[in-house]
Amino acid sequence: MKTYMGEWKSGLKNGIPIGMGYFAVSFTFGILAKQAGLNPFESVFMSVTNLTSAGQFAGLTLIASAAAILEIAITQLIINSRYFLMSFALSQKIDPNTSVFHRLIMAHGITDEVFGVSVAVPGKLSPYYVYGVMSAAIPGWALGTLFGVISGNVLPPRLMSALSIALFGMLLAVIIPPAKGNKVIAGLIFVSMVLSLVFTRVQIFASLSSGVKIIIITLFIAGIAAFVFPVKEDTYE
């Protein structure tokens, strides 16, 4: 049985690649934040408290356009609402007796990648494992933002585009290993990719934000999968 420190170290080890990928992606955000008029402290504070690439880039655009606080808040709620679903999923993997204090800290650190490695943990999920992942992911995102603000426009556009691709590579690294060992997961990933493509091509869905599209696709696929391939209650025991 792993100790709290052992769980933390395991999470930290799995979180290092995430932190490295976050550093590359948030570097771009830091440069854009400087162009929008934010100083290093404001930029890093935004990264540490928000922890979402889509939400931060959207928020930065609204800040630069002098949008109202209410508009910014509503936009963030819509874009980041997919994390509600991730929280619901992780709540089924943790011990029911986990305190509210631990739940709140875990909730703050949930991102697509942190969720990906956490939900793939066999058996029950320890909060300390998630803390380990967060210990690598959050500093990577914050430091990347800081270096981006400091560097300004020094780096060439081609290099910035290359850094942005790191996020997609990181997402692939999260979903491929579980899919290789489970045909159901592999099939669901394929279906989600097809539906995502459909949602980008069909005109009726064009007005929906990326966050809303993700929620619709997630609820649809997860609902069907839960009905067709139900998970036994003792799976996480």
* Same domain flag for 169 and 73: yes
CA distance 116 to 229: 20
The last residue of a domain, from among 158, 174, 190: 174
pLDDT reported for residue 166: 60
The last residue of a domain, from among 132, 150, 174: 174
pLDDT reported for residue 99: 92
Mean pLDDT of 163-180: 67
* Same domain flag for 189 and 162: no
pLDDT reported for residue 4: 87
CA distance 83 to 63: 23
pLDDT reported for residue 165: 65
Domains contained in the chain, number: 2
pLDDT digits (tens, 9 = 90+) for 74-123: 778 877 877 888 888 898 899 888 999 999 999 999 988 899 899 888 88
Neighbours of 183 (CB within 10 A): 9
C-beta pairs of 176-185 under 8 Å, 24+ apart in sequence: 177/120, 178/120, 184/225, 184/229
The last residue of a domain, from among 151, 174, 197: 174
Mean pLDDT of 33-50: 89
Structural domain range at position 219 = 181-237
**Cβ–Cβ < 8 Å for 115, 104:** no
Res. 169: pLDDT tops 80: no
* Same domain flag for 111 and 222: no
* Same domain flag for 209 and 167: no
CA distance 23 to 26: 5
pLDDT reported for residue 170: 59
Question: Which CA distances in Å does 174 have to 44, 92, 142, 171?
Answer: 26, 20, 21, 5
pLDDT reported for residue 69: 83
Res. 13: pLDDT tops 80: yes
